[in-house]
Amino acid sequence: MSTPSATPSPATATDTRAPAATGALDPRGLAAGTGAYLLWGVLPLYFELLKPSGAVEVVAHRVLWSLIFCAAVLSATRTWRAFRGVLRSRRTMALVAAASVLLAVNWLTFVFAALGGHVVDAALGYFINPLVTVLLAVLVLRERLRRTQWVALGFGVAAVVVITVGLGRLPWVALTLAGSFGVYGLLKNRVGRSVAAAPGLAAETLVLAPMSAGYLIWLGVTGGSTFTATGTWHALALAGTGIATALPLLLFGEAARRLPLSVVGSLQYLAPVLQLLIGVAVLGETMPPARWWGFGLVWVALVLLTIDGVRAQRAQRLRPAVADRT
């Protein structure tokens, strides 16, 4: 999964409401945002249908079919000019190329988790993601954090330590997902909002397409491909990864345009909550005490971040009013 970060700049937390969201919540935006995160939440179940395909084969198909689906969307919305604009800009394409590498790492790790019985670890990764965003604000953007944000980071580190000691292994799936997507979000922020979801994803998958196509051709030549070897429904399911990838991204783009960023940020927790429930209740993954303690510490950290963000935005909105009175 690759869910775009909906977390505002951690240290500044300025009022980032969408222009159309200054009044009542837009019901279409709310429906789009909810739909996007619900689709991302149930994605592990979709990947379960793709067995016995391996993670690399699934990701290769995901890249190519996403590119095809994005091309159809660009044609339907007549936005090929925006896509060509992305390709012409050297700076944008350099960022897109770097982002595509991180996207591939994120997709490969998530699909491996879904196919290998690590859905709970994947859920932990997306719970941790806002904390990684805060950490990147310090390490990369050189932003100064407030005390509550430092405390939240401390809880996040404690969670990783508890899980590592309790389970006897580093939660590498969670850390890889959170880290790759955190840096991916940072690069997307550098690209800017001028690049919409469909042209952006089309450019990223275009960068990954040659390697993906080459791998699938090699699988076919060596007899390792499952695309046609396991029946028509399996082939259709692999082709459907394009829709499963691009549709929630397009819904997210609509939500981000219509809703305040704080609302979109609150909706983002739907996906890991669903993944956790699916991992435990549907797929039967175990939750030993150390894992519960780790999740609990992460949830405390997220509550602290949410409270801090609400306070910061409220203070930001009050400043103009105080200035007007004086």
pLDDT of 216 higher than 80: yes
State the average pLDDT for the chain.
Answer: 85
Q: How far is CA 83 from CA 2, 62, 75, 215, 262, in A?
A: 20, 20, 11, 26, 29
Give me the pLDDT at residue 131, please.
Answer: 86
How confident is residue 205, by pLDDT bands cut at 50, 70 and 90?
very high
Number of domains in the chain: 1
The whole-angstrom separation of Cα 195 and Cα 83 is: 8
Residue 116, both tokens = 């290998």
Q: Could you report the per-residue pLDDT of 231-259, keeping only the tens digit for each?
A: 899 999 999 999 998 899 888 878 877 87
Please report whether residue 249 resides in a domain. yes
Q: Is the predicted pLDDT of residue 81 greater than 60, yes or no?
A: yes
Residue 53: pLDDT above 60?
yes
pLDDT higher than threshold 50 for residue 174? yes
Residue 23 reports pLDDT greater than 70: no
Read off the pLDDT of each residue in 64-78 and give the average, rounded to a whole number. 94
Q: Is residue 2 part of a domain?
A: no
Q: Considering the domain boundaries, does residue 85 fall inside one?
A: yes
Does residue 78 fall inside a structural domain?
Answer: yes
**Per-residue model confidence (pLDDT) at position 9:** 43
> Taking 90 as the threshold, does the pLDDT of residue 129 lie above it?
no
pLDDT above 90 covers a percentage of the chain that reads: 51
Q: Considering the domain boundaries, does residue 5 fall inside one?
A: no
Flag whether 9 is in a domain.
no
Lowest mean pLDDT among 58-72, 163-177, 301-315: 301-315
Q: Which domain holds residue 154?
A: 26-325
What is the dihedral sign for C-alpha 21, 247, 182, 114?
A: positive
d(CA 222, CA 214): 12
Q: Is 240 inside any structural domain?
A: yes
11 falls within a domain: no
Model confidence at 264: pLDDT above 50:
yes
Reported pTM: 0.84
User: pLDDT category, 6, cuts 50, 70, 90?
Assistant: low
Residues 39 and 257: their CA atoms lie apart, in Å, by 19
**What does the alpha-carbon distance between residue 91 and residue 156 come to, in Å, rounded to a whole number?**
34
